[in-house]
Amino acid sequence: MMRTRPLKVALLGCGVVGSEVTRIMTTHADDLTQRIGAPVELVGIAVRRPDRVREGVPQELITTDATALVKRGDIDVVIEVIGGIEPARSLIIAAFEHGASVVSANKALLAQDGAALHAAAEQHGVDLYYEAAVAGAIPLVRPLRESLAGDRVNRVLGIVNGTTNFILDKMDSSGAGYSEALDEATALGYAEADPTADVEGFDAAAKAAILAGIAFHTRVRLDDVHREGMTEVTAADFASAKQMGCTIKLLAICERAADGKSVSARVHPAMIPLTHPLASVREAYNAVFIEADAAGQLMFYGPGAGGAPTASAVLGDLVAVCRNKVAEATGPGESAYTRLPVSAMGEVVTRYHISLDVADKPGVLAQVATVFAEHGVSIDTVRQQGKDGEASLVVVTHRATDAALSATVEALRKLDTVRDVASIMRVEGE
């Protein structure tokens, strides 16, 4: 039976995403009603700048008092797309306290305070959904939280930031340097005026924290995620990658240890083989590769940002939350029963590509190989080229801990035959 009383929705924020959410709710109102089993009514939109022109947004719904809106008491669902930590956190908590479920796209807040927000939602018997926080329109949170709930996920490997993928793709395809590729990304609107959150990996790290927490049923905060940006990646690194049959991507990597007793989460540039599915992800697209015991290897691909894709994820959550309201039920909350420790980066095992500038004379390779052996780092391949008394030495290791590799590099720097450690990059996607 169709419920006649509308479910009332409040929207916090009406920028690119919020405006698109409003448009879809308006133009697809009849479809949403049929899918939910009750009509939905947008009853208020909180913004900071009420005089700004917002095409297609009813001016009578605009308010600057977000607190009063979420505390009305008759709101069924609050959609939060303002971002940042405060006032978003306080507004979400207030919504819970007044009986409203929340749909959020706020990756930074969820990565920092997800446990507290989940606890508050559970305390007040409401939902917290956030599919849009991770990869735009790509379904990731719900498949991990629901579809794979009966499986054991061992690894999540992904490109979760469109700006960085666009820049690295341009460096790979055109031979451009980092600055040139960033300028193109900015001109096309893929990069913000201040791209720090993207290129230094902060955005991807927040998403990695969320994905790791869901995949491994344990609490992973932003501070637990090792983060390296991609501003030091050079055209020479891409040339080396091509010689290995690889390309370079900024990856978010969440792994369960082989013994199952810990997990790790990290974001950094890495070489991946051209045969790996993630290597073919071009321009500003996102893709996430999941490895699970029973399901095997799964890949999720699509646009990871932008008004319409993100709004699609928001509306998907809205439908799910509203269905729960109609059924007088709640969906799955936080699952953190494993309470697994998060390994420090020094304990994480991976492969490495190290480029050295060395003196071109006999015995150098033997010296370098000895240093690797002394620190327990096994060498997979070595390539040496020399000219006019100088040489380049490229070493690819077998899997080793980050701590062992760091100690190896420090020892290499002390050799009088090693002029410089030109670059170090991890190799993933074996």
Residues annotated as part of the active site: 207
Q: What's the rounded Cα separation, in Å, for the pair 72 and 253?
A: 42
- Find, among 283, 295, 140, the residue nearest to 210 by Cα: 140
Burial of 381 (0-12, 13-18, 19+ CB in 10 A): exposed
Q: Which residues contact 172 (CB under 8 A, 6 or more apart)?
A: 238, 241, 247, 248
Question: Helix %, strand %, coil % for the chain, to 5?
Answer: 40, 25, 35
Q: 128 pairs with which residues across the strands?
A: 102
Other residues' Cβ atoms within 10 Å of the Cβ of residue 13: 22
Query: How far apart are alpha carbons 219 and 224 in whole angstroms?
Result: 9
Burial of 326 (0-12, 13-18, 19+ CB in 10 A): middle
Helix (H) and strand (E) counts in the chain: 15, 17
Extended strands (E) in 282-389: 285-292, 296-303, 349-359, 379-387
8 A C-beta contact, residue 166 and residue 185: yes
